[in-house]
Chains A and B, each alone.
Chain A
Amino acid sequence: MRTYILQRFLQMIIVMVVVMLVSFIIVELPPGDFLTTLREQLTDQNVDPKVIDSTVEMYRARYGLGENWFIRFGKWAWSLMKGDMGYSMQHNRPASELMGERLSLTIWISIATLIFMFVVSVPIGMLSAIKQYSAWDHSFTFLALLGVSVPSFITALVFLLLSVTLLGATTVAGLFSPEYVTAEWSWAKFVDMLKHVWIILFIVGLGDTASTIRVMRARMLDTLGEPYIDTARMKGLSGAKIYFRHALRVAINPIISSIGLRFPQIISGSTIVAIVLTLPLIGPLLLEALLGEDVYLACSILVVLTLALVIGNFLADLALAWLDPRIRFEN
């Protein structure tokens, strides 16, 4: 078990290093270096040449520009680890400042979406399998098909339309009511966010929830056909014990292992929704940075998202090993 955790942990580190290297190469790719661009920008802004010199010098020292690539990478990586995400040329602000709140919101919303997906799809999928071909099963099969096939931005637009036309809402978009958008975090702001967030969870999570229902149903059907379920039945166990104690823990395995993969899907999926509903998430920022060739910002976002993904995968692996003795045994 300890080897297993260690192994996964090392794999995680290796992935991170590779991703950072690739990001670094992308940052380095454009001709000229960042300092030239910075100097030009500052000159355009009519900043005092002395200040320009000192600023440029500060960045040169910090990122080791002018030295060989290995040291430059080291310095860049080190500053990333300290939370310095570099400088956004588009916004003329440090990247970390831009990402700050958006990043944490994104991560929280993603986690909430995952939980929403889990809580909704596992019981529905289970029941669909237990009552196969019942009215319940057929209706959720239909709904799941709908959920899988309708793109989330359409759902988002429909929601917008409905809430404006039917409910007369003026503030359906966004994560907060207008009065809270720029306010400091407070209990009231949090409550306000909760009022808005469920729609977002629903819209962002719908596709994944629908497909997870299908996976759960299929897995549960497979599991219920296994001989060990007959063994359990022959003990005289009740249905609930068979389904929850015996079948669920086996059937749920692939869903847990897919959590790590769902995470980036949710982030990219939420980007479109975030644009439609003008949500302060990281996705639109990344898109903007990519379009504007704002390399430091884009790479920093990528690195941070990768970190989140890798940690998510690691946690999923741990959960699997905890649940399934066969995985513990193999290592």
Chain B
Amino acid sequence: MNSDPDSDKVLNIRDLQVSFRSIAGTTRAVNGVSLDVRSGEIVGLVGESGCGKSVTIRSIVGLVPSPPALFEAGEIWLRTRRGMTETLALHKNMKALRQIRGRDVSMIFQEPMRSVHPMMTIGKQITEGILEHEVVDPAEAYDRTVEMLDLVGLPNPAAQMNRYAHELSGGMRQRALIALALVCHPQLLLADEPTTALDVTIQAQILELIRDLRERMSMSVLLITHNMGVVANLADRISVMYLGKIMETGTVEEIFKEPAHPYTQGLLASMPSLFSQPKTHLQSLRGVVPELAMVPKGCVFADRCPYVMPKCDETPPVVELRVDHSVACWLYADGGETQGSEDAATAEPSLSSEDTSGDSQKAVGVIPVLGTEPGSDASQEQLADSYTAQLQIENVALHYPILRGLLRRQVGTVRAVDGVDLTIRRGETLGLVGESGCGKTSVGRLVARLVEPTAGRIRFGADGGLEEITHISQKEMKRVRRAMGMVFQDPLSSLNARMNIRNIVGEPLMLHQVAKGRAVDDRVGELLEMVGLRAAHQSRFPHAFSGGQRQRIAIARALATEPSFLVADEPVSALDVSVQAQILNLLLTLQQQLSLSMLFIAHDIAVVRHVSDRIAVMYLGKIVELGEAREICVRPVHPYTEALLASIPLPMPGLETLREMPKGDLPDPANPPTGCRFHTRCPYRQPICEQEEPPLRQIAGNADHFGACHFQDELHLEGVEEIEEIYAPAAAAEGK
């Protein structure tokens, strides 16, 4: 490795070590990281949260407050307008550091919603940056800002100059922040999870923008993300980071085609992709990222590694597998160089046979998709049974009035849910997918009667036939709720921090008088073990558990009264990739064991496809497409479904989607477009779409597939073919 700060490199981090000192002791967050970014290159730094990615890139620009941080060793060489500069040494020299920030290197952050100053106009915030670094008159700075806003694709840039943050959507704010970062033409852009907080369609737009600007402004990008799909489509090279160390570095093709490090393999396998076998266990990494203070000696990944061996007690060497592909793992260190990649290839299947989650879950076989093999008597019976509905909602609506002015007059209506029909069959998982603000969470809350429907009918069958629950009293509803469990998105705020686990999980039991006294303890213990926790942990409080464990507790609570129906509202979106896989596996297992019906709500169509039998796609309060899960992903009939599928970054480099991305943001739900609500963003729109609203109707030749597009029978839309044989080692291994 050429360690000279040569001219090709824009950034060269060498053996960076950063520790944090606290009362509890000193923990090392970054432990010998070396990383290069070359001219014009996009480098992805990937890993789960708490692995030191942010600390690493914030160290480059001195954004890590010290104390508590201690920069113990290493060098960070950055190409600036004055030549290569070592920036760690500049941390003490604020003036020099300030000259670099914004001019030679810029940064965009994870939360565009909170990264724009709320009380300053966009224009002022951007021109401020120009005026800080260059001697220009305000008029020129103004013109350059407008030009930049135009370049990042904000509509009507001159008008944006006088707008405030709250007047822009998340995607627009991230564009404005990119304009702010690039207005002084830095050579390097640091992007810290730039799309994590955004909707998938907006994420696709922003990634496209970054790719485009890299060419136009000939800059390099260092991108942090936990989403392998994002880097696959954007990065040229990838470094995988775990607990302060770089585990593997390689070109994007090498990393995805021949992931060498067990951690990289695990990350790839954990992701439900549009190619994985639905309703099967994902090969999640076992356990969770440990606290920094508990990092294992030697190889930091040893305690979660399926190939762990005695030698792993020592720090593994960095092995060069090929030019531009190196890995820090003992698997590749012994004997010859050739052993490495072969070893990995043969080793892969054994990863799947491993008891992966460490929570005594057994692999679940593939469930026959409903209606696909109507052969034997048994399946006939199963079929008939499956078709009895557990939940039926008809034309349900939820409207909120918008009150304005002195007299709180109603000036409009937010149609959160606007006439939705859905049926969930017994034992079935129905996935509900859509962008944020489309009303999917409201549907979940309506079903559980947490909000009062404005119109429509909700019928639910606890154990017998359907019974109407649309307007029954809360007292009667209590009886119904016994058969209904609910899991919420944020596992931290949905558990009362002042209650211990026994009371959290046991509360429904006591409320419904299922158990009393000691019996509650026993049942809570059973439930905790069922979700992969220890029964002995009953007396602990929620803060003692990690995010994934908290979500397990929430699931245990939802299942306490042995419900037959579960509403899961974004149960995994707040979790890390490996933990997400564990929770999805748990939900799949429990659904099988307890023959639950489930309404699974999520924004990620890949996740939804993985767990659902059928999928309903929602847009602005309406169902636009409904059908069997794989069918919808392979042969979507609604342009919005196609757009959602196209927006999912595929973990497959070089397989860029050529389809047109949906343009713009989700329209205001208080003022939905006339006719077909999607027409403002639809690439296939015709005059009729602006006038007539298409109803949800059956697709010709498929009784189980519905769409709400005027041209659903004529349009040929592209789904995602199941091309597991082309690539995706995880999916391939699983498919065997």
Cβ-based interface call for B345 (8 A): no
**B116 with A236: CB separation less than 8 A:** no
**B101 with A231: CB separation less than 8 A:** no
**B101 with A239: CB separation less than 8 A:** no
Task: Given the known inter-chain contacts A235-B132, A236-B98, A325-B164, please indicate yes or no for A227 contacting B118, CB distance below 8 A.
Answer: no
**A234 with B114: CB separation less than 8 A:** no
Cβ-based interface call for A228 (8 A): yes
Q: A239 vs B95: C-alpha distance in the bound complex, in angstroms?
A: 10
| Contacting residues of chain B (124-141) with chain A, CB-CB under 8 angstroms | 125, 128-129, 132-133
Among A10, A246, A326, which residue has its beta carbon within 8 angstroms of that of B406?
A: A10
**A231 with B98: CB separation less than 8 A:** no
Among B94, B106, B166, which residue has its beta carbon within 8 angstroms of that of A234?
A: B106
**A237 with B98: CB separation less than 8 A:** yes
**B115 with A326: CB separation less than 8 A:** no
**A231 with B164: CB separation less than 8 A:** no
Q: A45 vs B129: C-alpha distance in the bound complex, in angstroms?
A: 80
**A228 with B132: CB separation less than 8 A:** no
Q: Kindly provide the distance from the CB of B299 to the nearest chain A CB, expressed in whole angstroms.
A: 33
**A237 with B406: CB separation less than 8 A:** no
Cβ-based interface call for A6 (8 A): yes
Task: Given the known inter-chain contacts A234-B63, A236-B98, A239-B94, please indicate yes or no for A326 contacting B177, CB distance below 8 A.
Answer: no
**B405 with A3: CB separation less than 8 A:** yes
**A236 with B164: CB separation less than 8 A:** no
Interface string of B151-195 (1 = CB under 8 A from A): 000000000000010110000000001001100000000000000
**B166 with A325: CB separation less than 8 A:** yes
Interface string of A205-249 (1 = CB under 8 A from B): 000000000000000000000111011111111110000011001
**A234 with B119: CB separation less than 8 A:** no
**B118 with A228: CB separation less than 8 A:** yes
Q: Kindly provide the distance from the CB of A234 to the nearest chain B CB, expressed in whole angstroms.
A: 5
Among B107, B114, B166, B406, which residue has its beta carbon within 8 angstroms of that of A228?
A: B114
Cβ-based interface call for A97 (8 A): no
**A236 with B114: CB separation less than 8 A:** no
Q: Kindly provide the distance from the CB of B521 to the nearest chain A CB, expressed in whole angstroms.
A: 41
Q: Kindly provide the distance from the CB of A35 to the nearest chain B CB, expressed in whole angstroms.
A: 42
Interface string of A130-150 (1 = CB under 8 A from B): 000000000000000000000
Name the CB-closest residue of B to A234.
B107
Cβ-based interface call for A112 (8 A): no
Enumerate chain A residues within 8 angstroms of B116, measured Cβ to Cβ.
Answer: 228, 231
Q: A121 vs B128: C-alpha distance in the bound complex, in angstroms?
A: 29
Task: Given the known inter-chain contacts A227-B111, A323-B119, A326-B164, please indicate yes or no for A234 contacting B406, CB distance below 8 A.
Answer: no
Q: A49 vs B541: C-alpha distance in the bound complex, in angstroms?
A: 82
Q: A326 vs B163: C-alpha distance in the bound complex, in angstroms?
A: 11
| Contacting residues of chain B (661-696) with chain A, CB-CB under 8 angstroms | none
Cβ-based interface call for A70 (8 A): no
Enumerate chain B residues within 8 angstroms of A250, measured Cβ to Cβ.
Answer: 117-119
Interface size class of A (residues with CB under 8 A): 20 to 34
Cβ-based interface call for B550 (8 A): no
**B132 with A234: CB separation less than 8 A:** no
Task: Given the known inter-chain contacts A233-B101, A235-B101, A236-B101, please indicate yes or no for A227 contacting B114, CB distance below 8 A.
Answer: yes
Enumerate chain A residues within 8 angstroms of B167, measured Cβ to Cβ.
Answer: 329
**B117 with A228: CB separation less than 8 A:** yes
Task: Given the known inter-chain contacts A236-B132, A326-B166, please indicate yes or no for A231 contacting B109, CB distance below 8 A.
Answer: yes
Among B111, B125, B129, B177, which residue has its beta carbon within 8 angstroms of that of A236?
A: B129
Q: Kindly provide the distance from the CB of A42 to the nearest chain B CB, expressed in whole angstroms.
A: 49
Q: A325 vs B167: C-alpha distance in the bound complex, in angstroms?
A: 10
Cβ-based interface call for A33 (8 A): no
Q: Kindly provide the distance from the CB of A5 to the nearest chain B CB, expressed in whole angstroms.
A: 11
**A228 with B115: CB separation less than 8 A:** yes
**A231 with B128: CB separation less than 8 A:** no
**A325 with B406: CB separation less than 8 A:** no
Q: Kindly provide the distance from the CB of B511 to the nearest chain A CB, expressed in whole angstroms.
A: 38
Q: Kindly provide the distance from the CB of B121 to the nearest chain A CB, expressed in whole angstroms.
A: 8
Cβ-based interface call for B100 (8 A): yes
**A235 with B164: CB separation less than 8 A:** no
Task: Given the known inter-chain contacts A7-B406, A239-B94, A326-B166, please indicate yes or no for A234 contacting B101, CB distance below 8 A.
Answer: yes
Name the CB-closest residue of A to B133.
A236
Cβ-based interface call for B102 (8 A): yes
Cβ-based interface call for B61 (8 A): yes
Among B102, B114, B406, which residue has its beta carbon within 8 angstroms of that of A235?
A: B102
Q: Kindly provide the distance from the CB of B119 to the nearest chain A CB, expressed in whole angstroms.
A: 5
Among B103, B119, B128, which residue has its beta carbon within 8 angstroms of that of A325?
A: B119
Enumerate chain B residues within 8 angstroms of A239, measured Cβ to Cβ.
Answer: 94
**A3 with B406: CB separation less than 8 A:** yes
**B109 with A249: CB separation less than 8 A:** no
Q: Kindly provide the distance from the CB of A120 to the nearest chain B CB, expressed in whole angstroms.
A: 24
Q: A228 vs B164: C-alpha distance in the bound complex, in angstroms?
A: 13
**A234 with B117: CB separation less than 8 A:** no
**B118 with A231: CB separation less than 8 A:** no
Q: Kindly provide the distance from the CB of A250 to the nearest chain B CB, expressed in whole angstroms.
A: 6
| Contacting residues of chain A (55-97) with chain B, CB-CB under 8 angstroms | none
Enumerate chain A residues within 8 angstroms of B166, measured Cβ to Cβ.
Answer: 325-326, 329
Enumerate chain A residues within 8 angstroms of B103, measured Cβ to Cβ.
Answer: 236
Name the CB-closest residue of A to B107.
A234
Enumerate chain B residues within 8 angstroms of A325, measured Cβ to Cβ.
Answer: 118-119, 164, 166
Enumerate chain A residues within 8 angstroms of B109, measured Cβ to Cβ.
Answer: 227, 230-231
Interface string of A288-330 (1 = CB under 8 A from B): 0000000000000000000000000000000000011110010
Name the CB-closest residue of A to B166.
A326
| Contacting residues of chain A (242-273) with chain B, CB-CB under 8 angstroms | 245-246, 249-250
Enumerate chain B residues within 8 angstroms of A236, measured Cβ to Cβ.
Answer: 98-103, 129, 132-133
Enumerate chain B residues within 8 angstroms of A329, measured Cβ to Cβ.
Answer: 164, 166-167
Enumerate chain B residues within 8 angstroms of A249, measured Cβ to Cβ.
Answer: 119
Enumerate chain B residues within 8 angstroms of A227, measured Cβ to Cβ.
Answer: 109-111, 114-115
Q: A301 vs B119: C-alpha distance in the bound complex, in angstroms?
A: 40
Name the CB-closest residue of A to B62.
A233
**B128 with A235: CB separation less than 8 A:** yes
Q: Kindly provide the distance from the CB of B405 to the nearest chain A CB, expressed in whole angstroms.
A: 6
| Contacting residues of chain B (330-345) with chain A, CB-CB under 8 angstroms | none
Q: Kindly provide the distance from the CB of A221 to the nearest chain B CB, expressed in whole angstroms.
A: 12
Name the CB-closest residue of A to B61.
A234
Known: A231-B109, A324-B119, A325-B119. 6 other contacts (CB 8 A): A3-B405, A6-B406, A7-B405, A231-B125, A237-B132, A325-B164
18 A-B pairs with CB atoms under 8 Å apart are: A10-B406, A226-B114, A227-B114, A228-B115, A230-B63, A230-B107, A231-B117, A231-B177, A232-B117, A235-B102, A235-B129, A235-B180, A236-B98, A236-B102, A238-B98, A245-B128, A250-B118, A326-B166
A-side residues, CB < 8 A to B, are: 3, 6-7, 10, 226-228, 230-239, 245-246, 249-250, 323-326, 329
Q: Lowest 10 CB-CB distances: which A-B pairs, in order? A: A236-B101, A235-B129, A227-B115, A236-B102, A236-B98, A235-B102, A325-B164, A227-B114, A228-B117, A234-B107
